[in-house]
Amino acid sequence: MAMKQEDGDVTAWVNTYGDNLYRFARIRLRDHDIAEDMVQETFLAAWKARDNFKGESTRKTWLIGILKHKIIDHIRKQVRNRKLDTELSQDPTSPLFNANQSWRDANHAWLDSPDKLFQDGEFRDALEQCLQHLPLRQRQIFVLREFAGEDAESICNSCEVTSTNLHVLMHRARLSLRKCLEKHGFGAKS
Amino acid sequence: MNHFCHQASRLSSDALEHPLSWSDRIKLRLHLMMCGSCRHYHHSTQLLQATIHKICNDELRSQKLPEQRKKEIIEACKNEQQNQNK
């Protein structure tokens, strides 16, 4: 009888919270396979530790908390062997400017609206491709900030960077993405 | 003579992160009045941010964990339960 009830609970857990957890992970990781893996690991960890859940928060908050830690661990593991100093010193956006700090190529007006770009499947595909071309830390930070809407302090903690580093990397990410999206044919005047 | 464009691009980005200081706000505003390239860059960063926010809101509403994966997770948890009971 107890076994049946517990089995029922895990099914209810996954059916009730699975989509929410997946959306939380997918937004932050931009990879559906990794997001699914994170969700599975979260449910497994939570199921093993279910007796430790004392109800101080809602079950959803508890599950999200476990997932958040798994995502942070994943992010840190990805950059473990890549020195921050090296990444900061190598600025891939410097060729966008002349030595006198003016733009190397003139920028054209982007005439589209957010609604139009949002509805354009090719734009969304190009955006994901351009994100993948960013240096890893830039991508992690940009996604957490712009996609997940996380605050600067939380991102600095997750990615182990200072707020100065964060703003430098956000700046570079924006420069790179604009350039990349224009290469895909978006934004620039014909 | 050094131009302000590189700094202006940084201020355009920072303006999306936090309120600029009064002096930075003035410097950026004055430069944008005079520099078309920077004006277009400034606008495109705002446009990109607004578009990404729309994409995220859509993902938060519509994306679902595949049903097959849900079954696999349930099965994995039940197997874990059986291992614990051994």
- Looking at chain B from residue 31 to 60, which residues have their Cβ under 8 Å from any Cβ of chain A? 36-38, 40-41, 43-45, 47-56, 58-60
Interchain contact, A14 vs B52, CB within 8 Å = no
Residue B20: helix, strand or coil by DSSP? coil
Residues of B in contact with A170 (CB under 8 A): 13, 16-17
Interchain contact, B81 vs A118, CB within 8 Å = no
Residue type, A107: N
Q: CA A44 to CA A82: how far, in whole Å? A: 30
If one compares A97 and A8, the residue with the highest pLDDT of the two is A97
Interchain contact, A174 vs B17, CB within 8 Å = no
Q: CA A97 to CA B8: how far, in whole Å? A: 12
Among B12, B17, B77, whose Cβ lies nearest the Cβ of A10? B77
Examine the pLDDT at A4 and tell me if it is beyond 50.
no
**ipTM of predicted complex:** 0.91
What are the pLDDT tens digits along chain B (86 aa)? 678 999 999 999 999 999 999 999 999 999 999 999 999 999 999 999 999 999 999 999 999 999 999 999 999 999 988 887 77
Q: CA A112 to CA A186: how far, in whole Å? A: 9
Task: Please name the residues in contact with B52: beta carbons below 8 A apart, sequence gap of 6 or more.
Answer: A127, A146, A147
